[in-house]
Amino acid sequence: MPVAGIAPRPGVTDPADIVVRNAKIYTGDPARPHVTAVAITGGRVSALGDDADMVGSVGADTRVVDGQNRRVIPGLNDSHLHVIRGGLNYVLELRWDGVPTLKLAMQMLREQAARTPKGQWVRVVGGFTKEQFAEKRLPTLSELNDAAPDTPVFILNLYQSALLNRAAVQAAGYTKDSPDFRGGQIVRGRGGEPTGLLLAAPSALVLYSTLAKAPLLPPEDQKDSTRHYLRELNRFGLTSAIDAAGGFQNFPDNYSTVTDLANEGNLSLRIAYHLFPQVAGQEVDDLRRWVETVKPGDGDEYLRLNGAGENLTWAAGDFENFSEPRPELAPDYEVEFEKAVRLMMENGWGFRLHATYNETIERDLAVFEKLAAEGMFPAGNRWIFDHAETISSSSLDRVAALGGAIAIQNRMSFQGEAFIQRYGAGRAADAPPIREMLNHGLVVGAGTDATRVSSYNPWVALHWLVTGRTVGNTLLYPPENRVSREQAIEMFTVAGAKLTGEESVKGILREGFYGDLSILSDDFFAVDEADIAHIESLLTVVGGRIVYAAGDYEGQDEQLPPVHPFWSPVSHFGGYQSTAKPSTTGGRQADLLAQAAGESDQQRQWQQARSGHTPVISGDAFETHSH
């Protein structure tokens, strides 16, 4: 479908499948960072340059896309996303991601409860924080019961707590005789009856286990749910993700959906996945079984095994809940942990480790150094520390010496205020020490840790990296711990490719690399910092396929099956609720909000959420800071 500017030429011997022209293309390639046109053939970039350079690439069947002088970037890669688990339940979830007021969030919940059939739950499973609401609070249990007196409602507040209405307490089977979970609390009222508040203190087991009691989708619906979730990720320009596995994600059972979609050619996101031992006490046995049956690199460019983790042993995981004190880990966890790491290294497996606190990182590094002295940390065996909010300079030295890498996520976007309340603004100023990590020469991949602890919207994370602010607009980082926009994009593209060993084919736009890109609603390199979080993709391309299209490009993407079940929150509200002005391009979610609340009210709430009423830690907090 050629357009004015490039006419198809007869006799073109190797025509491109798609050409994007008339655009401001940031390639990410230092050798050629800026062009205005790109051609993709057979899933790979085949030509870069200006419109005139594309003449020999356009045949009769070449799809030519006019970029309309918009910004184009390489496809984004979330280096820590729970994409497999998130897809299995996506269409069952009411997402409060991006909702500016509690009033509007509760209106959405009330409407969803009214349409949810008997036996099903309304579940709000993370991706939001009270700090994003103008009211700066969560709903009360009384408000929850008034909004949904009969339909079970489960609301996950990060990994800190959960709110259940009376119907959900009953559906979960909790009574005054129910025992508390290890590291968690069922809060009780008069007479010992559960009130509906669950606390992670600090373990999230009580939250995981309660959510697991909700009804599941049948396998075929899980496939469609995953396809719609991947489309939602494509909406923000994501073309790749590294799945960090997690609790209640069993291999191979819970991986069968993405495996089937990959075999059918129906993945619109490239996924490199990890394997996570699920049962405490048998982790080494599980790892040994996997080592004997599969190996990193198995798969193809759309679905491939990347290694183990983000836990190797449960006892070594320092669960983060900044509303609670740092958890004290068992004094002897290194015994089993060393067995697991040794097994990985002996068999050439990479791994990633959930490690929030420097105290845990130091203990892990001591195990690594012991094994490295035996020659068991060879170059090329990729291993990663995830999160690392409080990692020290000396630990960064040790990570670099052992050839490790780090993946950071914008958990502080959602928990920064809680961190400040517990540890102070000075310690928050380099939690994590982003620039110091980069200055050590480490590969530092960026991601979100969605869907439960934060939103899957990568632009919220990019906003955090560039501005140092939370979604509640609290300033966390001084300028010396923020990164440039170019560095932020590199952390979301090139670094992620390095973490999966794909840097020779992914992360930049260069001839021979994967044809993954997105046309943005606003120019990331020119838009005001405060508006970075509101950027979306108007057109996302994966391997030359248009997998998402909106605005002027609407209707050019592949058609998905209808959202099922019919009462799905996604079919009514969509996913991430855009707080962009309703008049801007790409306002699909704003339109949905306008239907729910009335356009004038939604506009007022948008202005209220963007105009202030949010705490800002003054620059004075940084003057006495030391690392």
Mean pLDDT value of segment 96-106 = 98
301: tokens are 């460019």
Mean pLDDT value of segment 530-541 = 98
pLDDT beyond 60 at 72: yes
Neighbouring residues of 463: CB distance < 8 A, sequence distance ≥ 6: 413, 469, 529, 532, 533
Estimate to the nearest angstrom the gap between the alpha carbon of 495 and the chain centroid: 15
Q: What is the pLDDT of residue 492?
A: 98
Yes or no: say if 412 and 431 are a contact pair by the CB < 8 Å rule: yes
pLDDT beyond 70 at 460: yes
How confident is the model over 409-430, as pLDDT tens digits?
Answer: 999 999 999 999 999 999 999 9
Mean pLDDT value of segment 541-568 = 97
Phi, psi of 105 (to 5 degrees): -60, -45
Q: What is the pLDDT of residue 381?
A: 83
Angle between helix axes 102-115 and 588-597 (nearest 10 degrees) is 80
Yes or no: say if 246 and 310 are a contact pair by the CB < 8 Å rule: yes
Q: What share of the chain in percent tops pLDDT 70?
A: 90
Mean pLDDT value of segment 346-357 = 97
Q: What is the pLDDT of residue 13?
A: 74
| More confidently predicted of 214 and 619 | 214
Task: Tell me the pLDDT band of 511, cut-offs 50, 70 and 90.
Answer: very high
pLDDT beyond 80 at 141: yes
For the chain, domains (ranges, CATH) are 272-499 (3.20.20.140)
Instruction: Tell me the C-alpha distance between 317 and 336, whole Å.
Output: 13
Instruction: Tell me the C-alpha distance between 231 and 254, whole Å.
Output: 20
Query: 2: left (phi > 0), else alpha (psi -120 to 50), else beta?
Result: beta
Q: What is the pLDDT of residue 579?
A: 56
pLDDT beyond 80 at 600: no
For the beta carbon of residue 285, count every other beta carbon within 10 angstroms.
11
Q: Which 8-state DSSP code applies to residue 560?
A: P
Task: Tell me the pLDDT band of 201, cut-offs 50, 70 and 90.
Answer: confident
Enter the pTM of the model.
0.92
How confident is the model over 480-510, as pLDDT tens digits?
Answer: 999 999 999 999 999 999 999 999 999 999 9
Q: How far is CA 236 from CA 444, 487, 511, in A?
A: 21, 18, 24
Task: Tell me the pLDDT band of 380, cut-offs 50, 70 and 90.
Answer: confident
Estimate to the nearest angstrom the gap between the alpha carbon of 469 and the chain centroid: 18
439: tokens are 């200055």
Evaluated on CA atoms 286, 289, 290, 295, the torsion sign reads positive
| More confidently predicted of 572 and 8 | 572
